[in-house]
């Protein structure tokens, strides 16, 4: 079984680490190309193997014609595979949050307005 996440022109395929899944994924991508005329840029693509050796991940990435990636990595600004119990892994998210809240906004808004702004920014950070 292969699952997926789409975000604009970004796609993340998730599946069991097996040769049959790799073959099915290549077939799916070939069908996508044939039906839409759009082609996947494998130079910008990566394969991540959770619980697999780096040699095995590299081998499977070579079959697809892309790079082997390693954990943790960032997907749409959110760390994937990182230990989120550590404060240092939250730093990029907190920094992005601070950059979205300029100082003048917090000074001119009421307390309720600030809460609404904070909820809005926090709720949309993963999508942003």
Average pLDDT of the chain is 80
Count of residues for the chain? 128
Q: Quote the pLDDT of residue 90.
A: 83
The answer to pTM > 0.85 is: no
Residue 76 is predicted with a pLDDT of: 73
Contacts of 86 (CB under 8 A, 6+ apart): none
Q: What pLDDT digit, counting tens, does each position of 81-122 carry? A: 888 888 888 888 788 777 766 665 666 778 788 788 778 777
CA-only gyration radius of the chain, Å: 19
**For residue 2, what pLDDT is reported?**
65
Q: What is the 3-state secondary structure (H, E, C) of the chain?
A: CEEEEEECCEEEEEECCCHHHHHHHHHHHHHHHHHHCCCCCHHHCEECCCCCCHHHHHHHHHHHCCEECCCCEEECCEEECCCCCCHHHCHHHHHHHHHHCCHHHHHHCCHHHHHHHHHHHHHHCCCC
Q: What is the pLDDT of residue 103?
A: 60
């Amino acid at each position: 079984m292969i699952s997926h996440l789409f975000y604009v022109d970004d796609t993340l395929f998730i599946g069991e680490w097996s040769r049959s899944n790799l073959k099915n994924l290549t077939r799916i991508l070939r069908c996508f190309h044939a039906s839409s005329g759009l082609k996947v840029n494998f130079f910008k693509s990566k394969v991540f193997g959770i619980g697999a050796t780096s040699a095995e991940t590299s081998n499977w990435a070579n079959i697809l014609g892309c790079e082997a990636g390693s954990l943790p990595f960032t997907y749409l600004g959110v760390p994937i595979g990182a230990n989120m119990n550590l404060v240092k892994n939250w730093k990029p998210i907190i920094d992005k949050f601070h950059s979205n809240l300029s100082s003048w906004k917090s000074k001119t808004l009421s307390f309720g307005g600030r809460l609404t702004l904070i909820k809005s920014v926090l709720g949309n950070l993963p999508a942003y």
